[in-house]
Structure 1
Amino acid sequence: MTARVRSPLAGRVGLVAAAFVVLGEAGWLLAGLPRAALVSDLGAVAVASWAALACTGVARRHPAPLRRFWVLLAVTMTLAALGRTVWTVERLGGDALPHTPLVGGLFTAGIVTGTAALLCSLAAPRSVVGQARTVLDGVIVALALIPIGWVVVFRDIAAADLADPLRTFGLLYPMFDLMQLTILVAVSGPTRPMWRALTLIGASLAIRAAADAVYVSLVAHDSYAAGHPIDVCWPLSYLLIGAATGHPPPADCDGEEETIEPPLPPWWRVALPYLPVGGAIVAVVLARRPTGQTPHLIFVAMMVLLGVLALRQGLAANENLRLVARLRRLAYSDQLTGLPNRLTFTRRLRRALRDGRPVAVLLLDLDGFKQVNDRFGHAAGDRLLTTIAERMHDTVGGDGMIARLGGDEFAVLVGPPVPPERLAERLLAALEPLPGEEDLGVHPSASIGIAEYGPQHTSHTDLLRDADIAMYAAKAAGKSAYRVCTPRLRESAVSRAELIADLRRAVDEGQLLIEFQPIVDLATGTVKSAEALVRWRHPRLGVLPPARFLPLAEETGLILAIDRWVLGQACRAAATWRQRAPEVTVAVNIAAAHLRRPDLVATVTEALEAAGLPPDALTLELTESALIDGSETVLERLAQLRELGVRIAIDDFGTGYSSLSYLHRIPATELKIDRSFVARLDAEDSRAYATVEMVNRLAGAFDLMVVAEGVETGAQHAAVAAIGCVQGQGWRYGRPTALPDLLATLTPIDVAR
């Protein structure tokens, strides 16, 4: 533990010491002081050794992928220190420039380990093909620069002077450096944030390439002597590698696999290995001797370059084939479940219909899957989809083709001799929870619609439409069921679609109207309020009740526009009758969709202000199913409305999710007992009587006023009055009527009649 605490400080001390060595060597060589060659050698050995220790130390503090990177760099620096040590010993032994096989082998081994280190960096390709392609890119650049270097360095050297292998093959040293630099540029592309350590290593390679190029040029012209100022570049390159150990990788470079698609590489990255090739071709022409012959090294380099280019193109072609295969999988398969997708299913269905085969389509939609996503998150939903897809795929087997069309919707294409109804039964059985899964609450059932191809279908879209119609019929039948599309179902769906289309025009064309049903005081018969009930004066079907079109409005989102219109009209009507009966209020139903909208309070406020109606003259009626959401945002909006003075009524109480917890939280002012309980009071149903009495007591405990809905007979009136309900609503006190007729009833009603 203590060593880890001291390691950053020790690293900084070592870096400063190595920097002083490089600066001291630079000053010594530039000043031309004696023993410059020995100082140059010792400085390079010292800095390379320190860099090897720094890389070894930082390797211990990183996970496996980065550890391999730093260990290979440590080996590279160790080989550099050994090579320079052997160089120094042999030079002191009398060889001015000891280019021996041992020295060359050590430096070459360092090039191999350094290249391997670059291929182990976090941004490098993980596949063998990708790594091979990257190495080949570097080799192409290196080989292409050999003819260029020949022209720049050796063009003015006599052919006789090139007999020495050192002068001929010495050009390979800077080429290897440029190869590594090209690989570094390739692996530090746009897929990750730039790591500063790679920037320092790139600067190190660039300095070393420049130094090797100058060194080879000087040697070729017989103008190099050990201790030349250029020698300071090598320890400087080692210093930069040691300094790179002080920079941790970016936060998202943790060695884990990428979970998103990497961005496309820039154009220069794709063209990088090919850019120097054109220059190499020009250089070959310029390098030709007066005799018309091409130097052997240039000829060999160009032949190898052509071979490497062919290999690189082969890898590119292989990669393109793999990419095409992957694109086909992406285009025709669902990435989550591995099943065929909508495109594949549609193509297979169209082909079957074109061949005249009798087929059927089973359309499956999971029941309650949205609740799984809302409750457990989308990751749990994805896992559930994968599990369900596997079960359905095993169930269908070779009897048909199952595909995921999107979301929680699947489809099966089946043909004879498999009866589609039997397959639907098997699928429903396969989706039943296994032992132990019932308590998890994450196993939705499915509704299945079946459509068999027949003369009434002109295309595959007709068949899918019929399967969709049958699927919605299965949902309406109670879910976890299947239905076969029949002419009657098809006609019903067409009528429904036409009704939705007509409903979209109803508000704009003034087809909606409002009727008001009085709510009376049970003790005095005085009208205390009136509930606004919307009707639709359909141009073809006549006046339609709310139950006929409001469910469609909620399903299509048209309920928002209808609610706003009803709210505005009801507020204006209440402002009119309050001139005659100032205490009579108005009640308006608000859909659940409005509770989730952030402009609910503004909508209500605007309607009140436009009509000149005080907030306490308005009651908003909300069903239990609308309130069950009970989110903090919804509760806050209801609280704001109560602060304005608007009253809140819980409508149809007892039929939804009656819960003491939400009565505590919702700022309600009254409960409306559902008509289904009141209707049973006629038959002297003791349980119904007890239920209404219990609700009345519960409301009293919460300081809520009770309104009994659906009072139609004298017996029902007597029962709710005896129980203690304060107000009543129903045909017993008045049917829904237009505003002019309501104005005539704003006098006490004889409730005893």
Structure 2
Amino acid sequence: MHSPSGVELAGLASLLVAVPAVALLANSGRRHTGAARRAHLLLAAGAAITTAAALAGLLSDLFLAQRPAQLGSAVAVAMALGTSTLLAGTLVLPGAAENAGAAWRHLLDGLVVGAGLWFVGWVLLSEPTRILGDHTPKPGVSILLPAAMAAVATGLTAVLAVHAHRPRHITVRVAAGVTLVAVAATALSSGICRSWPGIVLLGAVLLPGGLVVVAHAVKIADRPVEVTGDITQRNTGYAFVPMSAMVGALGYHLAAGGVFDVFGFLGFSVEGFALVARQYLALADVKSYTLQLRHRESHFRELAHTDPLTRLANRRGLVRALREPAARERPRVLIGLDLDGFKNVNDMRGHDVGDAVLVEVGERLRANLREGDVAARLGGDEFAVLMWATPEEAMLAGKRLLAVLGEPYDTEDGSVFLSASVGVAGSPAPGDTGELMRDADLALRYAKQRGKNRVERYQRRYDELLRRHSVLENELRHAIEREQLRLVFQPVVALPSMRPVGAEALLRWHHPELGAVRPDEFIPVAEESGLINMIGSWVLDQACEQLSQWLAVGHDVWVSVNLSPKELHAADYAGQVAGVLQKYGVPAQRLVLEVTEHAVATDMDELIRRLCELRSTGVRIALDDFGAGYSSLGQLRKLPVDILKIDHALVAEPESRTGTAAPLVDVVVRLGHRLGLEVLAEGIGSPAQRAIVEEAGCRLGQGSLFGWGVPAEHLEAQLETARSSGSRPVPVQRARPATKPTAPARSQVIMLGPGMRQLRALLPTDPAFSEGEVSRTGDQDVRSVDAPREMGQS
């Protein structure tokens, strides 16, 4: 024991400054969680170990009789442990590395740099260089171990300065503080070992300084940092710097006559093993990254070929399945499916319910697939199933799927009922995916056109129909400007006099190459392509112009024009009609707009609103093709119509079912009269049919018996002939039906549709048709009929 000098007391006082830094690190560790907490606790533990080792070593050197060499070695080991703990805390500090693997890579990179520094230091301190001369310390644990830790800490600081994430300055400050602690440990252990008070004081000053730097850097890190890494952004080019320095130093050392001793070998060995380990980790990173890329590529490829809603294949997935080689023993068949009326589900129930229905459709398709079949959702409510089967087997499968998809769909808002249309097509050639999908789509399209809720198999003639459809659409766009369209007029006569009192304007199209194109062929094309509004406007204009000419020369007639549902729902169609009437000075009551009974299948409230707008202009409305199967009695009472046109199928029935059709026509005529409507019988083609219509009390007739559609000048000649006969036209009025003795009344459901089956069940003496009122079943009311309105009068 000896009396402490002022230098030693100053060193002891300096070490006491490190105690608050240790306390600050410990308190910071308690305030954080997760990775930040672990890092701060490791830093606090390392600071405590180094501070305790330094205090213990200095106190032992001052007040206890200890051998300096052994005491220095003990201090070196203890402070090396503390420095290692500080380095570990630095590596796991948020922002230093994105994961444990990156931390190990940083450590190895620091070891590579540190080994280079160690080797250069060995060259500088050993023979023959010996830059410190006689002050060069002798090798020992008290110098080598803390010096090695200082070299590693310096290398790690350099690596973190390059690779640490934001906030990088905090991580670099912590690493620099740890480096100061490592240098202080070297000074303290070597100073105690060699009894160098000045070196001990230097270490005692550097140690609290380094800990204060660490504590301050940790304090300003206000929150943990989450980082993500990308190994493609990493590089190890800086490893060439220490390796080049080592090679250069070794060459200089050997050239100067130095000897490659155990310390040089140790430095080269550590550098070599560190580089090998670093290369191994780099290869492992590349392998892991490659596997991740493959997994992600597979995942995203699958997502790109999968419908996100139903988890079925999407269009890309179906095309991929179609491109796979087919089995030789079984042909490949594609079934196209489309839900009928699904748009109404989205409009009425909302898209959430619609999505739930689509998901259920996907589940039903998946449950009815065989092994190897592929179900896909192509978009919206369109699905497809790829099967390895014969066309006959595919037709059976299509019918089975039709039944499965037709079952109710239970949703939170109640059950949803849908039907489906199915098209089946076989593969014409291996790998011909485009043609197969087109064929299935064509078959599906014709299943829709033929009434829906059915299965259609592709036929080659569909291609011809498609090509003709395309040609008709293209040519129809220019038919008006090329003057290919014309109107013919079919007379409407008063019964029984058969005097013409009106005419129906019928559209005809004669193409110079295609010839005469039937209306039932080009009108659907016009409706599908959106040309119907343009063509309808032209028809309305031409018909009103011709009517104005007939009225100008004194002919007492009216003209009816057929109205498409798409025209009816066009914006301000009523204003368009009023404008045409004003343009040609035609009285509004002389124009009749005919609405097909099929339009009743649309939104009834909207239909009534549109018809009321038209009637407000003064024109009259006729319900065409009545009895075709869409109108019920309740709907007929609500519709604002003036004329009821009996479908030609009811009129033509007597010749095939004598004795049963007359009551049908009679029921419709009496029904129209009781509702205050004028009734017009269409399709009268024989005197027998005319007799039945007249006997039923119908006062207006139309059909081939009275004339086909003829040009305006021909009909005008008929009007001139009728006028020159000297008799006035018979006023066309609603007639009250005569009372006829019939069979006893039966209770019937009064429903006109679908078709004529329910109409046959009505008898003429049904109480629903009693004079002056119309009965409605159930909770419906009873209304009186106003006096009949006249038609065809000026």
Output the TM-score relative to the length of structure 2: 0.57
2:259 alignment counterpart: none
Counterpart of 1:168 in structure 2 is 213
Give the partner amino acid of 1:145.
I
Which secondary structure does the structure 2 equivalent of 1:744 belong to?
helix
Please say if 1:672 is aligned against 2:645: yes
Change (3 A) 1:360 1:435: closer
Match for residue 739 of structure 1? 712
Aligned partner (choices 82, 87, 112) of residue 33 of structure 2 = 112
Of 517, 537, 551 in structure 2, the residue corresponding to residue 544 of structure 1 is 517
**In the superposition, relative to structure 1, how do residues 313 and 576 fare at CA in structure 2: closer, same or farther (>3 Å)?**
farther
Counterpart position of 2:532: 559
* Counterpart amino acid of residue 403 in structure 2: E
- Distance verdict in 2 for CA 1:133–1:563, change over 3 Å: farther
Q: Which moved more, 1:570-579 or 1:323-332?
A: 323-332
Q: 1:192-211 residue pairs with structure 2 within 5 A? A: none
Q: Name which of structure 1's ranges 600-609 and 332-341 shifts more when overlaid on structure 2.
A: 600-609
1:429 to 400, 405, 428: 400
Q: Secondary structure at the match of 1:140?
A: coil
The 8 Å contact of residues 500 and 552 in structure 1, kept in 2 or not, is answered as: yes
- 1:585 aligned to 2:558? yes
2:11: which partner in 1? none
- Summarize the Cα distance change of 1:346–1:732 in structure 2 as closer, same or farther, 3 Å threshold: same
Corresponding residue for residue 85 of structure 1: none
1:452-498 deviation digits (Å, cap 9, x = unpaired): 324xx994323333333333344455545444434444444434443
**Could you tell me which of 692, 700, 716 is aligned with 2:689?**
716
The 5 Å alignment of 1:488-499 reads 488-499=461-472
Residue 147 (1) aligns with residue 172 (2): yes
Deviation at 1:113, TM superposition (A): 7.5
Q: 1:678 to 1:169 in 2, by over 3 A?
A: same
Which structure 2 residues correspond to residues 28-427 of structure 1 after superposition, within 5 A? 99=20, 104-112=25-33, 140-147=165-172, 161-164=205-208, 166-177=211-222, 179-180=223-224, 324-352=297-325, 359-370=331-342, 371-415=344-388, 418-427=389-398
What's the counterpart of residue 615 of structure 2?
642
Query: Structure 1 residues 652-661 or 376-385, which shifts more?
Result: 376-385
Compute the displacement of 1:560 (Å): 2.3
* Change beyond 3 A, Cα 1:596–1:110: farther
| Matched position secondary structure for 1:362 | strand
Aligned residue number for residue 261 of structure 1: none
Name the SS for the 1:638 alignment partner: helix
Matched, 1:448 2:423: yes
For residues 62-102 of structure 1, the C-alpha deviation after alignment (integer angstroms, 9 at most, x for no partner) is xxxxxxxxxxxxxxxxxxxxxxxxxxxxxxxxx99984867
Overall identity of the aligned pairs, in %? 31
Contact kept? 2:644, 2:677, Cα under 8 Å: yes
Closer/same/farther in 2, CA of residues 104 and 510 from structure 1, 3 Å limit: same
Report the AA paired with residue 333 of structure 2.
Answer: V
1:436-475 map, 5 Å: 437=408, 440-454=415-429, 459-475=432-448
Answer whether contact 1:365 1:471 (CA < 8 A) is retained. yes
Match of 2:601 in 1: 628
Q: Look up the match of 1:703.
A: 676
SS in 1 for 2:166: helix
Query: Are residues 660 and 377 of structure 1, via their aligned partners in 2, closer, same or farther at CA, if it must alter by over 3 Å?
Result: farther
CA distance in 2, matches of 1:630, 1:351: 46
Indicate how the Cα distance of structure 1 residues 363 and 168 shifts in structure 2: closer, same or farther if over 3 A, else same: same
Q: 1:620 to 1:323 in 2, by over 3 A?
A: farther
1:671, distance to aligned residue in structure 2 (A): 1.1
Q: Find the residue that maps to 1:173 and give its secondary structure.
A: helix
- Can you list the C-alpha shifts for 1:683-721, whole angstroms capped at 9, x where unaligned? 674443222222223223332211111122223223222
| Alignment root-mean-square deviation, CA | 4.7
Q: Deviations 1:715-737 (Å, cap 9, x if unpaired)?
A: 32232223222322112222211
User: How far off is 1:385 after superposition?
Assistant: 2.7
SS of structure 1 residue aligned to 2:165: helix
* Distance verdict in 2 for CA 1:644–1:488, change over 3 Å: closer
Displacement of 1:408 after TM fit? 2.8
C-alpha deviation, 1:677, in angstroms: 0.8
State the distance in 2 between where 1:597 and 1:345 align: 39
Secondary structure of 2:552's counterpart equals: coil
Describe how 1:481-492 pairs up with structure 2 within 5 A. Answer: 481-492=454-465
For the residues of structure 2 that align with 1:133 and 1:732, how far apart are their CA atoms? 93
Is the alpha carbon distance of 1:357 and 1:407 closer, same or farther for their aligned partners in structure 2, counting shifts above 3 Å? farther
Render the CA deviation track for 1:119-144: whole Å, top value 9, x for unaligned: xxxxxxxxxxxxx9799999832444
Distance 1:557 1:381, change over 3 A: same
Provide the residue aligned with 1:26 in structure 2: none
Residue 646 of structure 1 and its aligned partner are, at CA, apart by: 1.6
- Going from structure 1 to structure 2, the CA distance change for 1:510 and 1:443 (only over 3 Å counts) comes to same
Equivalent residues, number: 527
Rg comparison, structure with higher value = 2
Contact 1:653-1:672 at 8 Å conserved across structures: yes
Distance 2:392 2:320 in 1: 23
Q: Is the 8 A contact 2:425 2:436 kept in 1?
A: no
Q: Any unmatched runs of 5+ in structure 2?
A: 1-15, 38-96, 104-162, 185-201, 236-280, 731-794
Rate the CA distance shift 1:410–1:538 in 2: closer, same or farther, 3 A.
same
CA shift at 1:367, angstroms? 4.6
Give, as a single letter, the amino acid of the residue that structure 1 aligns with 2:564. A
Distance 1:97 1:399 in 2: 74
1:307-334 Cα offsets, whole Å, 9 max, x none, are x999999999998766544532332112
Aligned-partner Cα distance in 1 for 2:170–2:17: 28
**Worse-superposed segment, 586-595 or 385-394:** 385-394
Q: Return the offset for 1:150.
A: 9.3
1-structure distance, mates of 2:406, 2:621: 45
Match of 1:663 among 617, 633, 636: 636
Cα distance in structure 1, aligned partners of 2:168 and 2:624? 84
Quick one: structure 1 residues 133 and 393, their matched pair in 2 at CA, closer, same or farther if it must change by over 3 Å? Answer: farther
| Structure 1 residue identity aligned to 2:217 | L
Q: Secondary structure at the match of 2:423?
A: strand
Closer, same or farther: CA 100–438 of 1 in aligned 2, 3 Å: closer
Give the distance between the partners of 1:108 and 1:596, measured in 2 at CA. Answer: 74
Shift of 1:506: 2.5
* Cα 1:111–1:694 shift into 2, 3 Å: same
